[in-house]
Structure 1
Amino acid sequence: MAAPSAPTSDLDRTRLQAMLDREREAFAASHPKSLALAERAKGALLHGVPMPWMQKWAGGAPVFLAEARGARVTDVDGNEYVDVALGDTGSLPGHSPQATVDAITERISGRGGITTMMPTEDAIAVGEELGRRFGVPAWQFALSATDANRFALRMARQVQRRSRIMIFLHAYHGTVDETVATLDEQGHVVAREGNVGAPVDPALTTKVVPFNDLDAVRAALAPRDVAVVIAEPAMTNVGMVLPEDGFLKGLEEACAETGTLLIYDETHTMSMGTGGCVRAWNLNPDAVTLGKALGAGVPIGAYGLSEDFAARVVADREGDYLDWGGVGGTLAGNALSLAAARATLTDVLTDEAYGAMLLTCEHYVAGVQDVFAKHGAPWHIVGLGSRAEFGFTPHAHATGADAHDAIDPLLDDRIHAALLNRGVMLTPFHNMALVGPATTVADVDRVVGALDAVVGEIFTQAA
């Protein structure tokens, strides 16, 4: 990706690269065991990691994990970090929260049984609690948010008897084939650059419109060939793009007018509170999808359907929902995942916990704003509950395209590598920080202090 046109393009790119090189040299000196394991992994693991995204660490090699607890991570070299990445939301409840650990231990060594293709009472309790939080009553479980999205989309197409879905430009809903799409310069739907082995042309399956553009939404839905819109209430995978006043209400009205179903993907936006944005903003979806944090890191996804949507699924006689029809999975809904989810919802991600998390995140946002102001950095920060992300423009963005075009990979890497060397673990894919129940004000102050040093060096050099 080329350097952005403004406002960071005036930074000396050669100097910025030299600063990154120095940080990577320092990283190598303090992470010899991680580097040795990374070299060894090349002989056993594709891309040298168990999952490709793990190569994204800016230090020049993956940071290999030794221990994690609460809001702290220790690598194999003994380096400890304040972790505000929290597994890119997968560990929003904190690493190994005790209540979840106890439930997992009891499930495995007490009652026994991890996966049996049998339901447990925990599953009912989790469905009831998610229904209370998100306002949709009929839940099923998967092993990831990707699968939850995939299954909900399939059900929507089936009962709607319509073939297309609609997404927002630069949205991300996991590795669901139909959602890995974008627009070319002429406004035509095409596969996103680098889309690996796309099974069909996404122009046959998907419509793509800009976020916060109700006219584009209405135009896309007008032919009534879209079965379902899937959207994050706020975009979170291309920086942070919040909905403008009236946009989500207008989206819901446009869907209702055209008989289009609406799914809110709350996998990341559950940072907003116990019921995500759906509860905080009084939204009215036909389905909600979740994953990642629900089991405090134990693999799980969930999708909940409204009463009407669920009734249509149950009444449908053409789809095979119980066997070969393309939904479900042998390990989905397993006893371990549901035990972890029940404990996490009941004892970790509570209303009280979120109240403290939101206050701590406000402290982080204020600290970062002070850093930017102190050094004259042309950046902004956007908060969403216990989640916050800074970007490289003076103002937040209204569309995914604007947010995408402002990304500066070299500057990102320089900041991330420098923070790693200062004991701070920021999400490697973006400049996103999460505050969990175990994150303290002192943790936030350490993160802000490290960022202060890094930003100050960049802009002192720039001057």
Structure 2
Amino acid sequence: MLQASDRIGGVPAARIEALRVRESATFAGARPKSAAAAAEPSGFLDGVPLHWMLDWPMPFRMVVAQARGATITDIDDNQLDDFCLGDTGSMFGHSPPAVALAIRRQAVKGLTTMLPNEDAAIVGRLLVERFGLARWQVATTATDANRFALRLARAITGRPRILVFNGCYHGSVDETMVRLKDGRPINRPGLAGEFRDLTQATEIVEFNDVAALEAALARRDVACVITEPVLTNSCMVLPAPGFHEALRRATRDAGTLLLIDETHTISSGLGGYTRRFGLEPDLFVLGKPIAGGVPAAVWGMTDDVAARWAACSRAKEPGYSGMGTTLSANPLQFAAMRATLEEVMTAQNYEHMERLAARLETGLARAISSAGLPWHVVRVGARVEFVCAPGPLTSGAEAEAAHAPELEAAIHLALVNRGCLIAPFHNMMLVSPATTRRQVDRLVKAFGDVCGDLIA
């Protein structure tokens, strides 16, 4: 148990607890309808339809009445500036008009058919044009897309293992659920029902550690390195200068495929981090916002990988490949993806997002400095995060050590009470095309006020 003298992120634990208690009462007092709804039997396990919803640092979950643009309104008529945006699923705003119109048009023409429609070919060409890889498949989640891409990588290389970086996040792909503890690979704590030692199939090294990467690949039994361009689902870690060039060189030297998962770093700009910084992956995955909030994901590959897969397919025994799900590549996904790629995921929108995200980054950093707190701010395009520790961070181990759950939970709750919603799992904030300068400035002020409360 924390003692009154303990400090978390440079802040006395007693002060954090006092903030949490005060803000919890404020939250509850403003949401009697949500409180009543939370108390009613729901039929859902633990009272929520997805157990991740339990991770919101609130006394109870608020019930959403409407999400539009960059604003959420709950059933008690509290309006929040939304910087969580469905944890990236609505990165381009809630219900972008072009996507909403495309969904309405397609809804009366069929939702799923197991056959392509006219939008499918257009989406395929747009994916090639936007992201550069030559051949594509559609899945329903990024988890599925990553799983399928890794299966393909193993098939065409004939190698059993993959490599991930400590602190990575690739959805709920089993093989990636490993971490380093005291330099030793282990299954991630908290996995439910896992009966295997996942480290038997997965190499794990620290992000930015080129020597460890090269040593792990030297055995030439790794089919694929799967990585985000930036570690994001923790305290954010940027690549060191030259890291991506070294990663690409090492994988090619070892005959290992490189999979870049852009599900979070699509915030970087048009074409994602890959296009913006000239990365050259063999495989590419993008989920969450690709269809404007409709469940969809895509995974692409180079011509060389596609040719190797074709040869493998001709040689393998007929039967189920283990790649694909029935509802994937349905007409509703194609309608939403086409609208997103053509009308929402545009250079103009990214310019707006980048400009306001830079303003947010500057404002948060200024508030931290004014409060004299030992924290820092990091940004990847439209994605901004404050970290309650000094920075910059260089590895997953450092990111884990920087995480301050009690402090972050109190800050999140205090921001909600000041009209600002950020991601519940970490300190991530997204700027969308619908986000306004006024909303950014409100968040900066609210954050500054909370910092002031913590040091007062």
Aligned equivalents of 1:256, 1:171: Cα separation in 2: 21
> Is 1:271 the equivalent of 2:261?
no
Question: Deviation per CA, 1:45-70, whole angstroms, max 9, x where unpaired?
Answer: 11211111111111211121110110
Q: Which amino acid aligns with 2:333?
A: S
SS at 1:328 equivalent = coil
Match of residue 410 from structure 1 = 406
Runs (5+) with no aligned partner, structure 2: none
Q: Which amino acid aligns with 2:282?
A: D
Contact 1:104 1:336 in 2 (8 A): yes
Q: Which amino acid aligns with 1:266?
A: E
Match of residue 96 from structure 2 = 97
Match of residue 158 from structure 2 = 161
Residues 135-284 of structure 1 correspond to what in structure 2 (within 5 A)?
Answer: 135-185=132-182, 187-284=183-280
Residues 3-402 of structure 1 correspond to what in structure 2 (within 5 A)?
Answer: 8=8, 10-41=10-41, 43-109=42-108, 112-185=109-182, 187-316=183-312, 317-319=314-316, 324-402=320-398
Contact 2:80 2:416 in 1 (8 A): yes
Contact 1:189 1:206 in 2 (8 A): no
More moved, 56-65 vs 329-338: 56-65
Aligned equivalents of 1:2, 1:45: Cα separation in 2: 33
Aligned equivalents of 1:9, 1:93: Cα separation in 2: 32
Contact 1:240 1:389 in 2 (8 A): yes
* Moved >6 Å (runs of 4+): none
Report how far residue 200 of structure 1 moved: 2.0
Aligned equivalents of 1:320, 1:32: Cα separation in 2: 60
Question: Deviation per CA, 1:298-354, whole angstroms, max 9, x where unpaired?
Answer: 000110011101111111135579x61211010000100111011011101101110
- Distance 1:299-1:314 versus aligned 2 partners, 3 A rule: same
Report how far residue 188 of structure 1 moved: 2.9
Aligned equivalents of 1:326, 1:200: Cα separation in 2: 19
Contact 2:226 2:258 in 1 (8 A): yes
Aligned equivalents of 2:249, 2:334: Cα separation in 1: 35
- Distance 1:158-1:415 versus aligned 2 partners, 3 A rule: same
- Distance 1:10-1:381 versus aligned 2 partners, 3 A rule: closer
- Distance 1:319-1:148 versus aligned 2 partners, 3 A rule: farther
Report how far residue 199 of structure 1 moved: 4.3
SS at 2:280 equivalent = coil
Match of residue 433 from structure 2 = 437
Question: Deviation per CA, 1:62-108, whole angstroms, max 9, x where unpaired?
Answer: 12111011000001111100000000000001000100001000001
Q: TM-score, normalised by structure 2?
A: 0.97
Contact 1:103 1:339 in 2 (8 A): yes
Aligned equivalents of 2:237, 2:428: Cα separation in 1: 13
- Distance 1:342-1:100 versus aligned 2 partners, 3 A rule: same
Question: Deviation per CA, 1:180-201, whole angstroms, max 9, x where unpaired?
Answer: 111232x332110101122421
Contact 2:230 2:239 in 1 (8 A): yes
SS at 1:93 equivalent = coil
Contact 1:7 1:378 in 2 (8 A): no
After superposition, the CA RMSD in angstroms is: 1.7
More moved, 254-263 vs 53-62: 53-62
Question: Deviation per CA, 1:388-421, whole angstroms, max 9, x where unpaired?
Answer: 1010123220111101111111100110000111
Contact 2:83 2:423 in 1 (8 A): yes
Aligned equivalents of 1:131, 1:222: Cα separation in 2: 32
Aligned equivalents of 1:192, 1:383: Cα separation in 2: 27
Question: Deviation per CA, 1:5-57, whole angstroms, max 9, x where unpaired?
Answer: 9983552212311220111111111111112222225x411121111111111
Contact 2:9 2:407 in 1 (8 A): no
Contact 2:153 2:223 in 1 (8 A): yes
Contact 1:182 1:189 in 2 (8 A): yes
- Distance 1:232-1:9 versus aligned 2 partners, 3 A rule: closer
Q: Which amino acid aligns with 1:131?
A: V
> Sequence identity of aligned pairs in percent?
45
Alignment coverage as a number of residue pairs: 454
Runs (5+) with no aligned partner, structure 1: none
Q: Which amino acid aligns with 1:170?
A: G
Aligned equivalents of 2:232, 2:327: Cα separation in 1: 28
Aligned equivalents of 2:392, 2:2: Cα separation in 1: 21
Contact 1:23 1:59 in 2 (8 A): no
Q: TM-score, normalised by structure 1?
A: 0.95
Contact 1:169 1:208 in 2 (8 A): yes
More moved, 386-395 vs 122-131: 122-131
Question: Deviation per CA, 1:229-277, whole angstroms, max 9, x where unpaired?
Answer: 0000111011211101100100000000000000000000000011111
Aligned equivalents of 2:38, 2:60: Cα separation in 1: 7
Contact 1:7 1:392 in 2 (8 A): no
SS at 2:15 equivalent = helix
Q: Which amino acid aligns with 2:427?
A: N
Question: Deviation per CA, 1:335-381, whole angstroms, max 9, x where unpaired?
Answer: 00111011011101101110111001111111111111111111111
- Distance 1:9-1:71 versus aligned 2 partners, 3 A rule: closer
Question: Deviation per CA, 1:283-306, whole angstroms, max 9, x where unpaired?
Answer: 000010010000111000110011
Contact 2:148 2:322 in 1 (8 A): yes
SS at 1:278 equivalent = helix
Q: In the alignment, which of 416, 431, 452 is matched to residue 420 of structure 1? A: 416
